[in-house]
Amino acid sequence: MTIERRLFLRKAAAALAASPWLAGAAEDKATPVTVTHDMSAMPAHWTGKEQIGMLLYPGFTALDFVGPQYMFAGLMGATVHHFAKTMASVPSDTHLSISPTTTLAQCPAELDILFVPGGGEGTLAALRDEELLRFVAQRGASAKWVTSVCTGSLVLGAAGLLKGYKATSHWVARPLLTDVGAIPAEARVVQDRNRITGAGVSAGLDLGLRMVAMLRDQPYAETVQLLAEYAPEPPFNAGSPRTAPPAVKAMVDDMFKGFMAQGHSALARGEPTKDSTS
């Protein structure tokens, strides 16, 4: 279940009219909220017109992408684009294929949000893809918000978008951020000016929900959180390298030694060469 806009627009007003928190929410907003008993009443700032561009590339991690996509798609009035080099469906690293809605060439020139998911070997290939990096650099230069989850931050970095910015990544890959001049920060979601990067994979839910609160308001984000029934109960306490059993952490470190070596070498190639045609 998600926000079904038609339902939402039709149904929200009654509850809104009776919502004590709206006045409170309004106080924190530039946009004033008028709560009336007119059943069509709706806070103006709850509907936006964001253009959101989410990058698909072969070998991306589907959960990196779909966590934020759920949250962004709940932004009333926003348009969410899933873009890739071609319109062919793009296979993830778990062999789940998502269909693009547009191509790099057709993606809106001015994005409110540029989002890049992470992955493993597919992300290493993206770090060596001049055409892709030029596109990310170009859209990232004008996007209001430049965002990523997991190793997607390495793609932003390889495009030259994180130089001098605090950023995070999947915990395994975080040391690679220094290769692109970023300042690695250890947090679930890291914001530095208009760069917002998330930690590994599942951090996309937290990143997406924070952005919904930022782009609308807290009550709106709480509504999306309740629709997602996002009250997580991980069965184990192994989700962070600080809490995982040492042998589990050691195994994962070992699994990704090859990834780290290839990551350092890919990032040593430097930023994409400027191309006035892009």
Selected catalytic residue, list 63, 150, 190, 212: 150
How many Cβ atoms sit within 10 Å of the Cβ of residue 104? Answer: 20
Candidates 39, 105, 141, 255: give the one binding its own copies (CB under 8 A): 255
Is 105 or 248 the residue whose CB approaches its own copies more closely? 248
Q: Report the 10 Å Cβ neighbour count for 24.
A: 13
Considering the rule CB under 8 A, would residue 228 count as an interface residue with its own copies?
yes
Separation of alpha carbons 167 and 175, rounded Å: 11
Among 1, 30, 109, 268, binds its own copies (CB under 8 A): 1
Provide the 8-state DSSP code for 120.
Answer: S
Q: Which residues of 37-46 are buried (b: 16+ CB within 10 A; e: fewer)?
A: eeeebbbebb
Least separation in angstroms between residue 102's CB and its own copies is: 12
Q: Which of residues 32-61 bind its own copies (CB under 8 A)?
A: 61
- Sole binder of its own copies in the list 170, 190, 191, 217 (CB under 8 A): 170
45 neighbors 218 (Cβ within 8 angstroms):
no
**Part in contact with its own copies (CB under 8 A); list of ranges 107-115, 131-139, 176-184, 232-240:** 232-240
Q: Are the beta carbons of 141 and 131 closer than 8 angstroms?
A: no
Q: How far is the CB of 49 from its own copies (least distance, A)?
A: 17
| 3-class DSSP state of 19 | coil
Active site residue 150: yes
Note whether 87 binds its own copies by CB under 8 A.
Answer: no
CA dihedral sign of residues 176, 179, 185, 187: negative
Rounded-to-integer distance, Cα 263 and Cα 121, Å: 9
Name the segment binding its own copies (CB under 8 A); options: 86-94, 103-111, 129-137, 153-161: 86-94
Nearer to its own copies, 20 or 30 (CB): 20
> How far, in Å, CA of 264 to CA of 255, rounded?
16
200 contributes a contact to its own copies by CB under 8 A: yes
According to the binding rule CB under 8 A, does residue 23 interact with its own copies?
A: no
Binding-site size, its own copies (CB under 8 A): 94
Dist. CA 13–CA 35, nearest whole Å: 9
| Shortest spacing between CB 276 and its own copies, in angstroms | 34
Region 204-223 residues binding its own copies, contact defined as CB under 8 A: 205-206, 209-210, 213, 218-219, 221-223
Rounded distance between C-alpha atoms, residue 209 and residue 171, angstroms: 21
CB of 141 to its own copies, least distance (A): 27
Percent helix, percent strand, percent coil in the chain, to nearest 5: 40, 15, 45
Site for its own copies in 126-165 (CB under 8 A): 150-151
Q: What single letter denotes the amino acid at residue 140? A: G
- For its own copies, the binding residue among 30, 40, 109, 234 (CB under 8 A) is 234
CB of residue 275 to its own copies, shortest distance in Å: 30
DSSP string, 17-72: HT-HHHHHHHHT-SS-----S-TT---GGG----EEEEE--TTB-HHHHHHHHHHH
Taking CB under 8 A as the rule, does residue 181 contact its own copies?
no
Q: Which is nearer to its own copies, 236 or 276 (CB)?
A: 236
Active site residues: 150
